Amino acid sequence: MASQHPESRSLRKLLLWGAASVTLYALLLIFEQTVLAWSSRGGWYFIFPVLIAFAFSIVHGRFTGEFWESLGVRAKQ
């Protein structure tokens, strides 16, 4: 099996996380009324927007990390 260049692997991860982020935003817009209806029920239904925000945080954070990594910006160690 041929070894891949780190740049192509990094670009693939960037595109994957970017596509996942765009998909989450699209799903949120499509199911906006459903999310609002669930979150306005009260009780334990508050967990739905919290979980959605957590998913956005993870996916968008990974995309942002891959974006900066692809530009060569890294944290100082």
pTM of the complete model: 0.80
Evaluate whether 41 touches 32 at the Cβ level (below 8 Å): no
Confirm whether 45 is domain-assigned.
yes
Residues 6+ apart with CB under 8 A from 10: 66, 69, 70
Confirm whether 77 is domain-assigned.
no
Give dist(CA 12, CA 6) in Å, integer: 10
Confirm whether 59 is domain-assigned.
yes
Dihedral (CA of 66, 68, 69, 74) sign? negative
- The stretch 6-19 carries a mean pLDDT of 90
Is the pLDDT score of 50 beyond 80?
Answer: yes
Assign 73 to helix, strand or coil: coil
Confirm whether 76 is domain-assigned.
no
Query: What confidence tier does 2 reach under pLDDT thresholds 50, 70, 90?
Result: low
Give dist(CA 10, CA 52) in Å, integer: 26
Count how many domains the chain has.
1
